[in-house]
Amino acid sequence: MRTDGHVRNLASNRRFRHLLAVRLTSQAADGMFQASLALSVFFNPALGEASDPFRYAAAVAILLGPYSLLGPYVGTVLDRFSRRNLIGGANLARAALMIVICLTLPGGFNWSWVLCAMVVLAANRFVLAGLGAAHPQVVPAKDLVTANSLASTLGALAYGLGLATTGIAKLLDSGVSYSMLALAAGCGYLASAFIVGASFRRADLGPPVDDEAATGLWRGIAQTSSGMWEGFKHLGRRKGPALVMAVQGLHRFLYGIVFIIAIALFMGFFWDVESDPTRTTTISWLLVLAILGNVGVLAAAIATPRATRVWGPKNWIVVLMALCAVVVAALSGTMKPVMFAVAVLLVNIASQGLKITVDTSIQRGVEDAYRGRVFSVNDTIYNVGYLAGLFAAAFVVPENGYAPGTLVGVALSYGLICVGYAYLARDEAPYDAQTWSPAATEARPTTSQ
């Protein structure tokens, strides 16, 4: 598919450029804040030495729990209030909360900055979802697919740049404190809020004025909850999407286990306190892992459309799960930092390739009347599976993270998923690859990202 003409159209579209600027400043700030938050939790002497897998799991769960739970309900809010105001207001609130975090973070563990961080991360759901929902308001339908792809890719790069900026600042021992890094992120949120407020009028990004108050907010939330159950029941009649969603939920559970093992290893078993008392090497490796994870996501976005056309989506899922099984098995036999770096790249290719295939299976294999509700069910399975994996690992992984036996169990589990899915889905592909095209203009029927 040629996209150069679409890119030229978007480059000349002033409203799209402004909306993209809102995304890039916001996501760059996200990268800076989340990197400074992770470093402050695991490497801040004021918070004590981080050496407990349960602490790693709890830190992720506390901060991402509200973000995950909000997922199915974000669309309800975005379809009833001005998206321009919600995006701007969320970023203004995050900028203000950065001040509280900057003042309380240096004093050690304090629920004030923990709660503020939770709100900041939860608000990110509204910002990213609002930006995605606003694209049809500023981009012609013929350019929409390219706009979505371009915005997501550049947003991921901006987020990675924010991560790298924070990591390099700490590696160079520049004297910049965690509080100052968080404050810099606040400036990014403030800039994003200013751009959206100055570039668009209240109704420019939707929803249509006549639709804003179609139903009350609380009624909409109640309808979303009941709709998720209806979507779950509908999956009983759509075996193809249901099976691949189950595979993704199990993958996210195992992914959470491997994540905890990796963090614990780099914080414990791989750390040589005598040669690296300040953990410079540890921070360097974690920065490398974060960058390779983003590279894997981008690689999957490039490879998956072609792979599903050549092999078919069902076989692509089998290949990805087999890849995870082989990679994790190799980790259990080597337990070397460089192998974990390679594994992060490959497992993230598998994870994102699986996600793309699941999304497409819902778009193509679920009736339009149920599609949004099924996406809500999928978002919940995706996040709950990951959180469950984090806490499962916390109970079986030792403090130094050296758990080759657990990795063997994970590898065997991936193998069982691979074989089980290949058998159960032998007559139920996720979707018909012959009718799917990466140029399809049908947008994802949910505003969550």
- Write out the chain's pLDDT in tens, 449 residues: 445 576 788 888 899 999 999 999 999 999 888 888 777 766 655 555 556 777 778 777 776 777 677 766 666 676 677 889 989 999 999 999 999 888 887 766 567 777 888 888 888 877 887 787 777 788 887 776 567 667 777 887 888 888 888 878 777 766 677 778 888 999 999 999 999 999 999 888 877 765 444 555 566 666 666 655 666 565 666 777 788 889 999 999 999 999 999 888 888 888 776 777 667 777 788 888 888 888 888 888 788 878 887 888 888 999 999 999 999 999 998 888 899 999 999 999 999 889 888 877 776 766 655 555 666 677 778 888 998 999 899 888 888 888 999 999 999 999 999 999 988 887 766 666 554 444 344 444 333 33
pLDDT score recorded for residue 372? 54
DSSP helix/strand/coil, 409: helix
Residues 176 and 314 in one domain: no
User: How far, in Å, CA of 14 to CA of 264, rounded?
Assistant: 47
Q: How many domains does the chain have?
A: 2
DSSP states along 89-152: HHHHHHHHHHHHHHHHGGGSS-HHHHHHHHHHHHHHHHHHHHHHHHHHHHS-GGGHHHHHHHHH
Q: Is 200 left (phi over 0), alpha (psi -120 to 50) or beta?
A: beta
pTM of the model: 0.72
Tokens 């080759």 sit on residue: 404
pLDDT score recorded for residue 181? 83
Domain for residue 446, yes or no? no
CA contacts within 13 A on the Cβ side of 218: 0
Instruction: Choose one of 155, 186, 214: the last residue of a domain.
Output: 214
Residues 361 and 383 in one domain: yes
Q: In terms of C-beta density within 10 A (0-12 exposed, 13-18 middle, 19 or more buried), how is residue 107 classed?
A: exposed
Q: What is the CATH number of the domain that holds 172?
A: 1.20.1250.20
* Residue 342 lies in domain: 226-434
Residues 6+ apart with CB under 8 A from 54: 391, 394, 395
Question: How far from chain centre, in Å, is Cα 401?
Answer: 24
Instruction: Choose one of 214, 235, 260: the last residue of a domain.
Output: 214
pLDDT score recorded for residue 389? 93
Instruction: Choose one of 179, 214, 249: the last residue of a domain.
Output: 214
Q: Are 179 and 98 in contact (CB under 8 A)?
A: no
Residues 276 and 367 in one domain: yes
